[in-house]
Chain A
Amino acid sequence: METRRGARMVIDPKVRQVGFVTPGSELGRPAAPEPPGAAAPVPVVANSPSPVIIPLLLIPDTSSLRTTPLPVPSPPSRRVVAAPPADDSMPLGSYNPSDAILGSSQGSSERTGNNDKHGSAPTDSLADMSLSNASTLAIRLEGLNVTNDGISNVLSTSTVRSAVAAAPTSVEHAFQTSSGQGIIGSVPAVSVDMAAAANPQADPRPMPLKDRTSKAERRAIQEAQRAAKAAAKGVGTDIAAIADGNVANEVKSSKPSSQKKGLSEKKPAVFSDKKPVVSSDKKPVVSSDKKSAEKASEKDKRKDIPAPRMQFDDEQRVAKAKRRSLIEQTEAKNRVELFRHLPQFLHGTQLPSLESKFFHEDPLHPHPSVFQVGLQYLTREIVGGNARCIAMLMAFRDMINDYSTPMEKTLVRDLTAKINSHVSFLITCRPISISMGNAIKFLKTRIASLPVTVSEFEAKHSLILEIDRFIQEKIVFADNEIVKHAVTKIRDGDVLLTHGSSCVVEMILVRAFELGKKFQVVVIDSRPRLEGKGLLRRLLGKGLHCTYTHINAASYAMQGVTRVFLGAASVLSNGTVYSRVGTACVAMVAHALGVPVMICCETYKFHERVQLDSICSNELGDPDALVEVHGRKDVYSLRGWADSKHLHVLNLMYDATPADYVSMIITELGMVPPTSVPVILREYRKVPYVM
């Protein structure tokens, strides 16, 4: 039984993670989770009773996992079909290891998801690392119940306990997600059996995943991805078993503390009839200090995050957000299934509705400057990470300047709330970038750290100074430093290639040209925005020698190129570069041809998040932008695409370039390999943005 579950658990995420889930294919699936015939005890497969021991990132595990399913009586066709794509579809060789774990480390996904969400503090991750070394990873995912509550799908509880002396520590996660709608009322349990067949006899209860909706499946994709991140981070955690049913109940009394605390912290979890209880026969000696530390850090983390990302396939949440939002948002038709969790709205309707509200006066109405910036985001008049960030900060600066604390309110709280509402306004105009998120975080920390005694005038003054300083030091001076560093890498005779239009790269090129270096520039551009044209025009205006081509000629254009300079929207802590779509392609081509790829990115854009793909977090552009081809009036075959329900048009804005394809990241702190990103994050942001 355990095997069955284990196997299924392992595979399900794979299926979901890999397959491009289409509405049609879902039809057969909901039944799958509980193979009816499989309810009977199943021969225990070799690896099931004992924990699967997985070295930190191991590929072999995949194969073992792939083999395990076969003896299991659950519908084989699914597995057979499902499993191979899991491997095939991994686009990046280097990332296979993590993906292999992706399937298996479902339990640990909780942790990663957590880390990722909360932007784990370095200490936390270190602890995990150390832990992982000693640990074995045994996973049996009993049931993965995914919440459709977008915000709350952070794990409810996680406890770390060390089992027996010298035994591998295990982290046990009760993956308690309460489904908001009560679709899946019952218990989710990420159960991992620990020390050798502790309770293999746990009774095979039909899984709670009764009616799995497609929503749940999509959630599963995300969970899987988080798991992948966990793996990538090297968080090896052992996950303790959860025995359910009767076994659980008896144990429950003994260790409710951690569980309950975890839950209560989060929110009242909905327990239905079956109690999901964490259990393991041997009482874990809870290393209390660790636990409390973790809890504390978790609390901190929770405080830090602006808000968990909204999942836009959650209808209730979306409806709620819509009511609150100032902009009327009509949802796009023909949403691409895999990207349903991203905000996607019809671009045509937003502007008029926002315009009509221009003079409205209600408490939620944003400050004029913020409103203006929002309009400019909406119409894409301000684009580019730095420009957007600066525009936002300047708008907030204006707002703070005009701000006066209402009666009976404190500046710190009221201003924070005000900033929050303005940020959510900006988000409805266009999802904010990671760098903007960092800037907002910075601003809010500054506000929160204002002494209570300070007068309103002084507080405002100091905040305005802080904003100015942030722009100055983190963006303007940082860019200058980056230019200084990068110029040293440009030699006479170089052929430099860049993609799109990055303002830092432009500054570098212009500066190098001014220094009299002799080089050529290849500008690679991509539809639909063709931002490279602007760059090209400006470079040509300065007198640089340029070549311009589109990304489909990248492999050709790359020949003879000696350096690739790329901008980035963000650099994530695993070294992944999150940047304008097309960057990954260029970086890979460059890598294949042995051309060094330099990413130019200010450190304020760095983020603790770990992301392996460009699916779980991205931004969707206007699909209609792809329909028209600039300068080709005769190309109109896509017109009216929305009427065909078989066609989905996807306009992604960003992609993730794995660290392997990045030779160097040029920051204002120097030129570092992508592996050093966590160091920068750790060392320079111990106290966030101490300057």
Chain B
Amino acid sequence: MGPIMKFQVVVLAGGMSKKLFPLVSKDVPKALLPVGNRPVLSYVLELLEANNLKDLIVVVAGEDAAVRVGGWITEAYDGRLHVEVAAVSEDIGTADALRAVLHRLVVDDVLVVSGDIVSDVPLGAIAAAHRRKRAVLTAMLCSSPSASTAEAISSTGKDKAKKPSPIDIVGLDTSHQHLLFLASGTQVDKDVKIRRSLIRVVDQMEIHMDLMDAHLYAFNRAILQEVLELCQGIKSIKQDLVPYLVRSQSKFGAIASGDTQTEAVGKTPNKDDSGQPQTPMQDIVPLPQHILPGVLHPASLELTCCVYIASEGKYCSRVNSIQTYGDINRDQVAGELVFLTGYTVSNQNNVIHPTAEIGSKTTVGPQCMVGDGSKLGDKCSVKKSIVGRHCRIGSNVKIINSVVMNHVTVEDGCLIQGSVICSNVHLQERANLKDCQVGAGYIITANSEHKAEALSKREKS
């Protein structure tokens, strides 16, 4: 059996992310950033596994990162998933990364998933929508997290340093099935330019600001290859490839309808003989339409970029900035997403690993997570936070709204609030952190006080 339902999966796991600067490092590529004490990538892989997609290509930027990711995957998913890890050089766009693995794609359609998605959307639905429409591109949209972000901001206090998450501007037809326009808010200055020919085809177009592109796409493989080979200028999927396809669809549509007219009569429905399609569109136009012009609704003929909008109850979010990282971790411990992590929740509505040791008079509040092997001293207080594995936390420590990764040492009397502490960080006594991000291996001196700072070790030169 070949790939199931003729879909192949490419996971773009990325490498180092500038946006997540202090958190990711050489040792911890983005894909392995722990979310709820599990690497981000595991959520994607498990989503794929749950959907019975077990043959994956994972593209990682950077050789080192690729080795690490590959090592982790083989360790964690040995025998369950068949994963090929491909390394591409750093600092190339997503489309370039896709181009690098293009030769491995052989079947009809390709599902391209960003490695930083935490979601439970049914992939089958996206694939089905893609197939049903015979689309060139199907993008998954989910409702933009702006609302939750707003809450998060208010809860964490104002911080102006953080940019508001970029808004996507999405143009849809009235049936909410076709994608007519897509641009991320950062690209758009003031005006949104939309082709008039497109409007002529669809009559009406809705512009949505409340939807977010989830970076989960289904592509028609033939078109994808064609486009990527023809247009070497396409660097990024989101910024170049998708808009290109969306822009081209009405143009392609014209070609398609022209074909149906000219070839309406007596075209042999013999796909095998014709071999490879000459132009991308010929492959899309289904044969029955050649035979019976206008059997189908004309709009469906011409619009080949589709969307799947995740339903309300589904969660979908990306770890692409420090803020979203914090949000997702919070969401997770807030119980909404615990089912994604697969941990069982205790009566106090928190997740404490049985091997964790907790000192006397220490309280671990609801919506918290403590990893295995961590030791908490006496009279600590942990609220709405995640404590990773093998952390040693002294007495009288308060951790609120924070993420503490693995192997962190926190000495007595520290106060950590709204911060992200990476692995192997050492907090000396009575350090006080508020809204900080601390890079891996950093040592915070005793009695120091930091507020809204990004602290990290200097890269070894």
Mask: chain A, 366-385; 1 = CB below 8 Å from B; 0 = not: 00100110011001011010
Report yes or no: A471 in contact with B291, Cβ–Cβ below 8 A.
yes
Contact at A359–B292, with CB atoms within 8 Å?
A: no
* Chain B residues, CB < 8 A from A376: 132
Knowing A359-B127, A372-B132, A468-B268 touch, does A390 contact B4 (C-beta < 8 A)? no
Would you call A506 and B125 a contact (CB within 8 A)?
Answer: no
Within 8 Å by CB of A386, from B53, B122, B268, B292, lies: B292
Q: How far is the CA of A387 from the CA of B292 in the complex (A)?
A: 7
Q: How many residues of A contact B (CB 8 A)?
A: 38
**In contact, A379 and B132 (Cβ under 8 angstroms):** yes
CB distance from B64 to the nearest CB of A (A): 33
CB-CB nearest in chain B for A380: B297
Residue contact A359 to B53, C-beta cutoff 8 Å = yes
Q: Which residues of A contact B447 (CB under 8 A)?
A: none
- B269, A471: Cβ atoms under 8 Å? yes
Identify A394's interface contact among B265, B269, B292, CB under 8 A.
Answer: B269
**What's the nearest-Cβ distance from chain B to residue A80, in Å?**
52
- A residues 463-492 touching B (CB-CB < 8 Å): 468, 471-472, 475-477, 479-480
| B294 and A506 contact, CB distance less than 8 A | yes
Q: Is the CB of B294 within 8 A of A357?
A: no
Q: A361-B4, A368-B131 are in contact. Are A390 and B288 (CB under 8 A)?
A: yes
Q: Is B128 on the interface with A (CB-CB < 8 A)?
A: yes
Beta-carbon nearest neighbor of A386 in chain B: B292
Select which of A352, A475, A538 is within 8 A of B125 by beta carbon: A352
A453 at the interface (CB under 8 A from B): no
Docked Cα-Cα span, A339 to B294, in Å, equals 33
A326 to B6 Cα, complex, angstroms: 19
Contact A372 B131 (CB under 8 A): yes
Give A358 to B268 CA distance when docked, in angstroms: 31
Say whether B287 contacts A503, CB under 8 Å. Answer: no
Cβ distance B111 to chain A, nearest Cβ, rounded Å? 10
Q: Is the Cβ of B291 less than 8 Å from the Cβ of A476?
A: yes
The reply to whether A537 and B132 contact each other, CB–CB distance below 8 Å, is no
Quick one: closest B residue to A393, CB to CB?
Answer: B269
**Chain A hits for B300, CB < 8 A:** 381
Partner of A503, one of B128, B265, B286, B295: B295
A356 within 8 A of B: yes
A691 vs chain B, min Cβ distance (A)? 16
- What mask results when residues 1 to 29 of chain B are scored 1 for a CB within 8 Å of chain A, else 0? 00011110000000000000000000000
Interface centre among A352, A358, A381, A382 (most CB of B within 10 A): A358
Give Cα A252 to B9, complex, Å.
70
Q: In the complex, what distance in Å separates the CA atom of A475 from the CA atom of B5?
A: 29
Knowing A381-B296, A476-B266, the reply to whether A359 touches B125 (Cβ < 8 A) is no
Q: Which residues of B contact A35 (CB under 8 A)?
A: none
Q: Which of B7, B123, B288, B291 has the most CB of A within 10 A?
A: B288
- Whether a CB of chain B sits under 8 angstroms from the CB of A633 is no
What 1/0 flags go to B97-130 for Cβ under 8 Å of A? 0000000000010000000000000111101110
Residue A534 interfacial (CB < 8 Å): yes
Known contacts A381-B133, A471-B269; is A375 also within 8 Å of B128 by CB? yes
A182 to B148 alpha-carbon distance, docked (Å): 60
**Contact present for B127 and A358 (CB under 8 Å):** yes
Within 344-372 of A, Cβ neighbours of B (below 8 Å) are at 351-352, 354-361, 368, 371-372
Q: Do the beta carbons of B124 and A472 come within 8 Å of each other?
A: no
Interface flags, A235-265, vs B, CB<8A=1, else 0: 0000000000000000000000000000000
Cβ-based interface call for A391 (8 A): yes
The CA of A368 and the CA of B127, in the complex, are separated in Å by: 11
- Cα of A538 to Cα of B123 in the assembled complex, Å: 36
Pick from B7, B51, B134, B291: contact of A475, CB under 8 Å: B291
Name which of B5, B122, B133, B268 has the most chain A CB atoms within 10 A of its CB. Answer: B5
Closest to A357 in B: B124
Most buried by B among A354, A372, A376: A372
Q: Report chain B residues within 8 Å CB of A372.
A: 131-132, 134
Interchain CB contact under 8 A, B5 and A387? no
Are A472 and B269 also in contact (CB < 8 A) when A355-B124, A381-B296, A387-B292 are? Answer: yes
How many angstroms between the C-alpha atoms of A480 and B267 in the bound complex?
12
Does A384 contact B269, Cβ atoms closer than 8 Å?
no
B270 lies within 8 A of chain A by Cβ? yes
Contact of B294 among A375, A379, A391, A503 (CB under 8 A): A503
Convert B253-272 into 0s and 1s, putting 1 for each residue whose CB lies closer than 8 angstroms to a CB of A: 00000000000011011101
Bound Cα distance from A538 to B108, whole angstroms: 32
- Contact call A371/B131, Cβ cutoff below 8 A: yes
CB-based contact B5/A358 at 8 Å? yes
Contact across chains for A355 and B291 when beta carbons are under 8 A apart = no
Known: A359-B53, A375-B132, A534-B298. A394 touches B288 (CB 8 A): yes
CA distance A563 to B122 in the complex (A): 52
CB distance from B24 to the nearest CB of A (A): 31
Tell me if B52 counts as interface (CB < 8 A to partner A): yes
CB atoms of A355 and B128 under 8 A apart: yes
Instruction: Choose among B124, B265, B294, B300 the residue with the greatest number of A CB atoms under 10 Å from its CB.
Output: B294
Q: For residue B130, give the distance in angstroms from its CB to the closest CB of chain A.
A: 10
- A151-174 CB contact bits vs B (8 Å, 1 = yes)? 000000000000000000000000
A381 CA / B289 CA spacing, docked (Å): 12
B129 contacts across to A, CB distance below 8 A: 355
Instruction: Provide the residues of chain B in CB contact with A379, threshold 8 Å.
Output: 132
Residues of A within 8 A of B123 (CB): 358-359
Q: Interface centre among A354, A355, A371, A506, by most B CB within 10 Å?
A: A355
Given known contacts A359-B53, A371-B131, A534-B297, A503 and B292 CB-to-CB distance under 8 angstroms: yes
State the CA gap A480–B269 with chains docked (Å): 16
Q: Of A356, A361, A387, A472, which is within 8 A of B296 by CB?
A: A387
Q: Known: A368-B5, A372-B131, A375-B132. Contact between A359 and B291, CB under 8 A? A: no
The answer to whether B288 and A537 have CB atoms under 8 Å apart is no
CA distance A241 to B5 in the complex (A): 59
Q: Which residue of chain B has its CB nearest to the CB of A475?
A: B291
Min CB gap A149→B, angstroms: 35
Q: Which residues of A contact B7 (CB under 8 A)?
A: 359
- CB neighbours (8 Å) of B131 from chain A are 368, 371-372, 375
CA distance A360 to B145 in the complex (A): 30
Q: Is A480 a contact partner of B265 (Cβ separation < 8 A)?
A: yes
Q: Chain B residues near A352 (CB, 8 Å)?
A: 122, 125
CB neighbors of B among A378-431 (8 A): 379, 381-382, 384, 386-387, 390-391, 394, 401
User: Which listed residue (A354, A390, A475, A479) contacts B128, Cβ 8 A?
Assistant: A354
B357 → chain A, closest Cβ, in Å?
42
B5 contacts A359, C-beta separation under 8 Å: yes
Q: How far, in whole Å, are A355 and B7 apart by their CA atoms in the complex?
A: 14
Question: How would residues 288 to 308 of chain B score, 1 for a CB under 8 Å from any chain A CB and 0 otherwise?
Answer: 100110111110100000000
Highest count of chain A CB atoms <10 Å: which of B7, B128, B298? B128
Partner of A360, one of B6, B52, B125, B265: B52
Taking the closest CB of chain A, its distance from the CB of B283, in whole angstroms, is 14
Contact A358 B132, beta carbon cutoff 8 Å: no
Bound complex: CA of A357 vs CA of B52, how far in Å? Answer: 10
- Is there an interface contact between B124 and A358, defined as CB atoms closer than 8 Å? yes
What are 27 A-B pairs with beta-carbon distances under 8 A? A352-B122, A354-B128, A358-B51, A358-B124, A359-B4, A359-B51, A359-B53, A359-B123, A360-B124, A368-B6, A371-B128, A375-B128, A375-B132, A381-B296, A382-B288, A382-B296, A384-B295, A390-B269, A390-B288, A401-B272, A471-B269, A472-B268, A476-B291, A477-B266, A534-B298, A537-B298, A538-B298
Shortest beta-carbon contacts, A-B, top 4? A358-B124, A355-B125, A387-B295, A355-B128
Q: Which residues of A contact B (CB under 8 A)?
A: 351-352, 354-361, 368, 371-372, 375-376, 379, 381-382, 384, 386-387, 390-391, 394, 401, 468, 471-472, 475-477, 479-480, 503, 506, 534, 537-538
New contact pairs (11) apart from A381-B300, A390-B288, CB-CB < 8 Å: A351-B128, A355-B128, A355-B129, A358-B5, A358-B127, A368-B6, A381-B296, A386-B295, A390-B287, A390-B291, A394-B269
